[in-house]
């Protein structure tokens, strides 16, 4: 039992040290770099970005208008820009500044754009990897708002519904009881439209802080997508023409004043589409290397281009396209390795000291991740073994156990064995 | 002999335990008042929105209650034993030292479980009175890590108090704080669900590690 308690103590200490020590080291010595902002410039006709770098080159320093030289503005050709030049090359993003600087209306490719035209044709739709259905926490109760509230502001209904194997079940919030009548009415309306229970999932934007209410999209047992709305208290169901064979995995609803797109639609095979309001038509985003599990995605719509930007921890990719007859035609694609991917000296030293580390990270839900060091970690393990070898021993059994622990866990094992395997 | 030791522990902690249990009942009553106030101030559907969508904690009063109970019970149980090295007498009784110490821990953990049961029952009753069943899953997904922090708090203080050497005692305290910290990440309700089976492994490890300082104490190792 004594031996068991020693090993349990040692294992616990190794785990705790692997979790806390590298995190403490990172806080002290490793600069946490934000992701690069990559955008398509309609004036330069290429991608342009802003990112933080540890050692800005002289060219970037010369362009720094203030003391923030570590933020560099650069394009695909390698040119550096000042902040103002950067914004001037993105007139649809920074149109308010352009207006202040007296640069509106502006002319690009023979077309003239004023502030109102830019404002009316701007749109941003986002899908974070953590928000994908099944990854984010879903309480399983949904508020179906009144889409015709008869007033300026949207209000929450006094009920929520849940999905059951054979219908929708509405629960009245005032009484905290199932509303049988409402449940039957909405379930019947869905069934009448050809809905097959059990439903796979519900998609909607569950807030009243939005331009209007588009209702909910519900995917049925066969994969068909139904659009459910509450209009004047009554169910309104539309079976969308979206092909069930697409395998819809997630719909990110995002209502906008423009009334152009309901949002983004993701399929099981990682294809992503814009979901048009008009006829529920799908506009495919022709992306290369998009991996929704690990990449955040954003599409920026401006009066001329649709720019898709998606990134994981190290690489950011951009695809600019024009929309013609409901189809996006790529005009430029670019992949950029972000400055945050470069390994600093502090990170190399970290690998040498810590053979591995643990971390608790948010990926929708909290996950425990293990990061294994590199070959340089052998240096740290060797040093820890050397320290151990230099220590005095009264019992050879202790030496054997300690060497084993340090061999697999380096500095963590050295500290843990000193605490747990006392002679 | 083990039964006698357990009875001795019962006699030692019963009065403080009843006081701690009463404080737990007060905490649950406070959560009830807080929840009732929410529904008095706002429409029920808005409260549901705040709780289910925005992750508002109507049971925030219970966040540090389990760890406070765990620490208090460990202090009540082991502080008197450490005074004048009384535990040394127990450690030299003609009974297996491991079984004897585990009986001590078992008595403390049983008392802690009673307090946690009061919190859990109160939280379940309050939640179901005002919210649908889904809210119960969400509430327990948040409260369970706090409850485990309570168990870690108890075992961590035991690990610290039983250690005879002062510098090592500080290290044990840091380790205990590290385990408790695993269950207090600043995250929205419900996100612990996936990682909890991994984190819970630290509890049996800490439970068995608690025997280590006891052996050291018996062997008079203060270095």
* B15 to chain A, closest Cα gap in Å: 31
Q: Are residues A54 and A21 in the same domain?
A: no
Q: Are residues A235 and A356 in the same domain?
A: no
The ipTM assigned to this model is 0.91
Q: Are residues A66 and A143 in the same domain?
A: no
What's the number of domains chain A is made of? 3
Q: Are residues A24 and A48 in the same domain?
A: no
Residue A317 lies in a domain: no
Residue A185 lies in a domain: yes
Residues of B with CB below 8 A from A11's CB?
Answer: 205
Per-residue pLDDT of chain A (423 residues; tens, 9 = 90+): 878 888 999 999 999 999 999 999 999 998 888 999 999 999 999 999 999 988 888 888 888 876 677 889 999 999 999 999 999 999 999 999 999 999 989 999 889 999 999 999 999 999 999 999 988 889 999 999 999 988 888 999 999 999 999 999 999 999 999 999 999 999 999 999 999 999 999 999 999 999 999 999 999 999 999 999 999 999 999 999 999 999 999 999 999 988 899 999 999 999 999 999 999 999 999 999 999 999 999 999 999 999 999 999 999 999 999 999 999 999 999 999 999 888 888 999 999 999 999 999 988 889 999 999 888 989 889 998 888 888 766 555 667 778 888 888 999 998 888 888 875
A157 touches chain B (CB under 8 A): yes
Q: Are residues A57 and A149 in the same domain?
A: no
Q: Are residues A64 and A79 in the same domain?
A: yes
- Residue among A8, A157, A419 whose CB faces B205 most closely: A8
Domain boundary among A63, A92, A121: A121
* B19 to chain A, closest Cα gap in Å: 33
User: Which chain B residue shows the shortest CA-CA distance from A158?
Assistant: B45
A9 touches chain B (CB under 8 A): yes
Q: Are residues A25 and A41 in the same domain?
A: no
Q: Are residues A173 and A248 in the same domain?
A: yes
Please state, for a pLDDT cut of 70, what percent of chain B lies above it.
98
Residues of A with CB below 8 A from B221's CB?
Answer: 422
**For the whole model, what pTM was predicted?**
0.90
> What band does B217 get if pLDDT is binned at 50, 70 and 90?
confident
B170 touches chain A (CB under 8 A): no
- Mutant choice from A16, A158, A370, A421 vs B, greatest count of B C-beta within 10 A: A16
Q: Are residues A158 and A273 in the same domain?
A: yes
Q: Are residues A5 and A106 in the same domain?
A: no
Residues 6-65 on B with a CB inside 8 Å of A are: 43-49, 52-53
Residue A216 lies in a domain: yes
Q: Are residues A116 and A143 in the same domain?
A: no
Residues 355-394 on A with a CB inside 8 Å of B are: 360, 362, 364-368
Cβ–Cβ below 8 Å for B49 and A176: no
A54 touches chain B (CB under 8 A): no
Residue A330 lies in a domain: no
How many CB pairs below 8 Å do chains A and B form together? 128
Residue A326 lies in a domain: no
Domain boundary among A293, A312, A337: A293
Domain boundary among A121, A155, A190: A121
SS (H, E, C) chain A: CHHHHHHHHHHHHHHHHHHHHHHHHHHHHCCCCCCCEEEEECCCCEEEEEEECCCCCHHHHHHCCCCCCCEEEEECCCCEECHHHHHHCCCCCCHHHHHHCCCCCEEECCEEECHHHHHHCCEEEEECHHHCCCCCCCCCCECCCECCCCCCCCCCCCEEEEEECCEEEEEECCCCEECHHHHHHHHHHHHHCCCCCCCCEEECCCCCCCCCCCCEEEECCCCCEEEEEEECCEEEEEECCCCHHHCEEEEEECCCCCCCEEEEEEECCCCEEEEECHHHCEEECCCCCCCCCCCEEEEEECCCCEEEEEECCCEEEEEEEEEECCEEEEEEEEEEECHHHCCCHHHHHHHHHCCEEEEEEEECEEEEEEEECCCCHHHHHHHHHHHHHCCCCCCHHHHHHHHHHHHHHHHHHHHHHHHHCCC
Residues spanned by the domain of A377: 1-30+345-420
How does pLDDT run across B29-44, given as a tens digit for each residue?
999 999 999 999 999 9
Residue A8 lies in a domain: yes
Q: Are residues A137 and A244 in the same domain?
A: yes
Residue A117 lies in a domain: yes
């Amino acid at each position: 039992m004594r031996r068991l308690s020693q090993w349990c103590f040692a294992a616990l200490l190794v785990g705790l040290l692997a979790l806390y020590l590298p995190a403490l080291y990172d806080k002290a010595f490793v600069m946490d770099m934000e992701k690069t902002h990559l955008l398509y410039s309609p004036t330069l006709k290429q991608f342009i970005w802003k990112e933080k770098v540890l050692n800005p080159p002289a060219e970037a320093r010369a362009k720094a208008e203030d003391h923030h030289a570590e933020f560099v503005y650069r394009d695909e050709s390698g040119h550096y820009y000042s902040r103002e030049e950067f914004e001037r090359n993105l007139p649809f993003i920074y149109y308010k500044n352009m207006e202040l600087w007296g640069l509106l209306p502006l002319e690009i490719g023979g077309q003239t754009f004023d502030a109102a035209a830019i404002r009316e044709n701007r749109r941003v739709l986002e899908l974070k990897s953590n928000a994908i259905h099944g990854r984010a926490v879903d309480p399983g109760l949904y508020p179906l708002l009144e889409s015709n509230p008869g007033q300026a502001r949207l209000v929450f209904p006094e009920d929520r519904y849940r999905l059951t194997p054979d219908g929708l079940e509405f629960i009245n919030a005032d009484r905290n009881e199932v509303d049988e009548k409402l449940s039957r009415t909405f379930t019947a309306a869905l069934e009448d439209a050809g809905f097959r229970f059990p439903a796979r999932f519900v998609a909607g934007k569950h807030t009243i802080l939005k331009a209007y209410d588009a209702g909910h999209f519900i995917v049925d047992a066969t994969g068909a997508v139904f659009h459910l709305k509450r209009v004047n208290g009554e169910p309104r169901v539309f079976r969308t023409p979206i092909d069930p064979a697409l395998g819809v995995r997630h719909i990110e609803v995002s209502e906008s004043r423009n009334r152009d797109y309901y949002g983004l639609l993701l399929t099981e095979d990682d294809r992503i589409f814009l979901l048009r309001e008009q006829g529920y038509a799908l506009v495919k985003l022709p992306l290369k290397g998009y991996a929704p599990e690990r990449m955040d995605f954003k599409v920026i719509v401006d009066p001329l281009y649709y720019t898709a930007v998606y990134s994981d921890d190290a690489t950011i990719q951009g695809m600019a396209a024009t929309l013609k007859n409901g189809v996006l035609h790529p005009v430029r694609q670019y992949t950029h390795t972000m400055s945050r991917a470069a390994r600093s000296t502090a990170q190399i030293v970290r690998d040498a000291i810590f053979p591995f580390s643990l971390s608790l990270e948010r990926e929708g839900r909290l996950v425990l991740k293990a990061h294994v060091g590199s070959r340089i970690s052998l240096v740290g393990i060797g040093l820890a073994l050397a320290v151990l070898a230099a220590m005095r021993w009264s019992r050879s059994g202790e030496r054997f156990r300690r060497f084993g622990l340090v061999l697999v866990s380096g500095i963590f094992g050295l500290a843990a064995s000193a605490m747990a395997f006392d002679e | 002999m083990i039964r006698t030791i357990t009875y001795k522990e019962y006699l030692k902690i019963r009065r403080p335990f009843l006081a701690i249990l009463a404080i737990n009942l007060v905490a649950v009553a406070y959560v009830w008042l807080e929840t009732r106030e929410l529904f008095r101030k706002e429409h029920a559907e808005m409260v549901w929105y705040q709780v289910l969508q925005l992750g508002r904690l109507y049971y925030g009063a219970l966040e540090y209650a389990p760890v406070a109970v765990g620490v208090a019970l460990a202090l009540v149980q082991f502080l008197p034993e450490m005074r004048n090295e009384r535990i040394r007498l127990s450690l030299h009784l003609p009974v297996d030292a491991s079984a004897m110490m585990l009986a001590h821990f078992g008595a403390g953990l049983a008392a802690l479980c009673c307090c946690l049961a009061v919190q859990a029952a109160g939280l379940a009753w309050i939640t179901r009175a005002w919210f649908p069943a889904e809210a119960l899953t969400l509430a327990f997904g948040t409260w369970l890590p706090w409850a485990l922090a309570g168990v870690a708090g108890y075992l961590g203080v035991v690990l610290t108090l039983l250690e005879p050497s002062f510098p090592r005692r500080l290290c044990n305290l840091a380790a205990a704080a590290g385990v408790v910290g695993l269950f207090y990440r600043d995250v929205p309700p419900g996100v612990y669900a996936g990682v909890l089976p991994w984190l819970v492994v630290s509890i049996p490890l800490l439970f068995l590690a608690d025997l280590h300082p006891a052996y050291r104490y018996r062997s008079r190792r203060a270095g």
